Amino acid sequence: MDASLRRMFGDRFVDDPHVVSLYLRDAALIEGGAALGVVFPLDLDEVRGVVREAYARGAAIYTQGAATSLSGNAMPLSGGVVLSMEKMARIHEVNTYDGYVVVEPGIRIEELNLELYRHGYFFPIDPGSHRAATVGGAINNNAGGMRGAKYGTMREWTLELEAVIPTEDADVVRVGCKTVKCRQGYDLVRLIVGSEGTLAIVTRATLRIVPLPQNVVGMVVQFDDMERAEAFLRLMRQGRLSPQFTEYMDEATSGMVGLPPRHSLFIGVEVDRCAADGTLEALGAMVARSGGHVVDMSRDTRDTVRLLEPRRKLFAVSTREAMERCGKGCLIIAEDIAVPPSALARTIAEIREAAERLGMPLLMGGHIWDGNLHPRTWFPREDSERGHRFIRAVMEIAVKNGGTISGEHGIGTLKREGLAMELRHRGSPYAAELMRRIKAAFDPKGILNPGKLLPEDT
Ligand SMILES: Cc1cc2nc3c(=O)[nH]c(=O)nc-3n(C[C@H](O)[C@H](O)[C@H](O)COP(=O)(O)OP(=O)(O)OC[C@H]3O[C@@H](n4cnc5c(N)ncnc54)[C@H](O)[C@@H]3O)c2cc1C
């Protein structure tokens, strides 16, 4: 296969092992397998060329955006070729009247937004990795992020997809509509969104965009315990405040970013300019009533961006802490459960109990308004039994409390067993069978991102 890819792509097929090694892992930092090379297509026809070739030889294709996934979604496992979409990164159309943008999958979310800001618009999905993450990767992970509180996940923002299906002739589908309302039989757009590169290769996407809000005010508030934080969140909901973001950091992580070591909430609310002071006063009153402390506040969007900076460091500081305390040979896990918001305080308490019982380190943060928590833990690879017991316990706590094992990072290799557990818990093992059949219908030879996403019974 490498000879034909070299013939087709010239020096856009790379098999230098030093370069290939850069594409063998994603941000989960789990060792991947091998790949015979990395190919960099420029357009739809070139993607189809790779698919035809791989289909004929039964070779695996691991499609990658920026490989910032955290569950082993993007790394190659068993040879085959890495299909890097980084050179397919053009914006084809910005249509502010109809409220959409047409892009290639390799464009980074931040680059897309830098263009949209010039039109007074933005694309609101905002994973912590937005500077690196690509639209194609975000679609395939159904990414969410900080603004999920108001804007949800990629699912709500993906209108149309052009994608290559791994058939003998590398068939192309164009599914969805440019309109928000769209009935087109089974919803193939939503099936591909979140499919982690296992069903189709996305080559073009139409995404919804919205005008930039007039103003976003913000506040950093702290609480001595989770009960008070929960009381405050309840007051916000009762007051019908609909924040753009409400982010959480536990006491230890707050200390690491230079805040007093207490439970911290970072809140942003979209308001008309004239409503800024009133909104901040209302928030301040809720903080006082629930026994919290206002640490910082901002009256305009630019200042609110500054206010969120400590929260944006969550991943970096917790990784650094894990590296310092455990060393290079450790597995550092970013868990990703989601529970109904009413079950949050209970879930956090139970995860802490489990960590204490098993003697596991724990740092916690997350997108608390939509119930999405990222407990972080780490353990030496050679002593992984206890670590994996803890991870299983975290997933079981989420499911028992009415939640799910993954809010936004996806299943990858890390959560296949957890997904099977969740489906069993819901009395829905047949859903696993349906997923296998859907995979076979799209990908009869099983060549797209094999070994990922499908529930695995152990
Ligand atoms: C510091 C940090 C913070 C993060 N914060 C968040 C967060 O707040 N919210 C969140 O949701 N995620 C977060 N993530 C996870 C990850 O960054 C996002 O899911 C991101 O959208 C992935 O984009 P990517 O380009 O890196 O995709 P990749 O990791 O390259 O790929 C993701 C998946 O999509 C597939 N894929 C990629 N491109 C295509 C394509 N064109 N066609 C078909 N399949 C494709 C891959 O095979 C893989 O399964 C974070 C990660 C890090 C490291």
Residue 424 CA to ligand 1 center (angstroms) comes to 27
Residue 384: its pLDDT value, please?
84
In short, whether 199's Cβ falls inside 6 Å of ligand 1 is no
Q: Is the pLDDT of residue 457 over 80?
A: no
Query: How far apart, in whole angstroms, are the C-alpha atoms of residue 71 and residue 194?
Result: 13
In short, whether 72's Cβ falls inside 6 Å of ligand 1 is no
**Residue % of the chain over a pLDDT of 70:** 100
Residue 377's SS3 state is strand
Residue 294 CA to ligand 1 center (angstroms) comes to 34
Looking at residue 196, which CATH number applies to its domain? 3.30.465.10
Q: Are residues 98 and 205 in the same domain?
A: yes
Cβ-contact 405, 422 below 8 angstroms = yes
> Ligand 1 atom 36: the closest Cα is on which residue?
137
Residue 58 CA to ligand 1 center (angstroms) comes to 26
278 belongs to a structural domain = yes
Q: Is the pLDDT of residue 458 over 70?
A: no
Q: Are residues 118 and 150 in the same domain?
A: yes
Q: Are residues 272 and 321 in the same domain?
A: no
- Per-residue pLDDT averaged across 176-193, rounded? 97
Q: Is the pLDDT of residue 291 over 70?
A: yes
In short, whether 166's Cβ falls inside 6 Å of ligand 1 is no
452 belongs to a structural domain = no
Q: Are residues 185 and 112 in the same domain?
A: yes
Would you give the DSSP letter of residue 72? S
Q: Are residues 361 and 420 in the same domain?
A: yes
- Per-residue pLDDT averaged across 320-337, rounded? 90
- Per-residue pLDDT averaged across 137-156, rounded? 97
Q: Which of 257, 290, 312 is the last residue of a domain?
A: 312
The ligand 1 atom nearest the CA atom of 105: 41
Q: Are residues 77 and 123 in the same domain?
A: no
pLDDT tens-digit series, residues 186-236:
999 999 999 999 999 999 999 999 999 999 999 999 999 999 999 999 999
Q: Are residues 287 and 323 in the same domain?
A: no
Give the mean pLDDT of the chain.
95
Cβ-contact 361, 377 below 8 angstroms = yes
18 belongs to a structural domain = yes
Q: Are residues 426 and 334 in the same domain?
A: yes
Query: How far apart, in whole angstroms, are the C-alpha atoms of residue 273 and residue 134?
Result: 32
**Residue % of the chain over a pLDDT of 90:** 92
Query: How far apart, in whole angstroms, are the C-alpha atoms of residue 285 and residue 270?
Result: 18
- Per-residue pLDDT averaged across 150-162, rounded? 98
- Per-residue pLDDT averaged across 428-447, rounded? 97
In short, whether 106's Cβ falls inside 6 Å of ligand 1 is no
202 belongs to a structural domain = yes
454 belongs to a structural domain = no
Residue 273: its pLDDT value, please?
87
451 belongs to a structural domain = no
The ligand 1 atom nearest the CA atom of 144: 11
The pTM score is: 0.97
Q: How far is CA 136 from CA 143, 312, 425, in A?
A: 10, 22, 32
Tokens read off for 38: 């990395």
Q: Which of 211, 246, 277 is the last residue of a domain?
A: 211
The ligand 1 atom nearest the CA atom of 143: 11
pLDDT tens-digit series, residues 352-397:
999 999 999 999 999 999 999 999 999 988 878 999 999 999 999 9
Cβ-contact 226, 343 below 8 angstroms = no
Looking at residue 71, which CATH number applies to its domain? 3.30.43.10
Residue 307: its pLDDT value, please?
95
130 belongs to a structural domain = yes
457 belongs to a structural domain = no
Query: How far apart, in whole angstroms, are the C-alpha atoms of residue 250 and residue 373?
Result: 11
Residue 432's SS3 state is helix
Q: How many domains does the chain have?
A: 4
Looking at residue 329, which CATH number applies to its domain? 3.30.70.2740
> By C-alpha distance, which of 217, 325, 308 is closest to 264?
308
Domain region containing 126:
91-211
User: What stretches of 12-168 show up as alpha helix (H) in DSSP?
Assistant: 17-21, 44-57, 109-117, 135-141, 148-151
Which backbone phi and psi does 175 adopt, to 5 degrees? Answer: -125, 155
Q: Are residues 321 and 307 in the same domain?
A: no
Q: Which helix or strand (DSSP H or E) is residue 347 part of?
A: helix 344-358
Residue 226 CA to ligand 1 center (angstroms) comes to 30
Q: Is the pLDDT of residue 178 over 60?
A: yes
Residue 367's SS3 state is strand
In short, whether 73's Cβ falls inside 6 Å of ligand 1 is yes
Q: Are residues 341 and 406 in the same domain?
A: yes
**Which of the four pLDDT bands, split at 50, 70 and 90, describes residue 33?**
confident
Cβ-contact 54, 61 below 8 angstroms = yes
Residue 239: its pLDDT value, please?
93
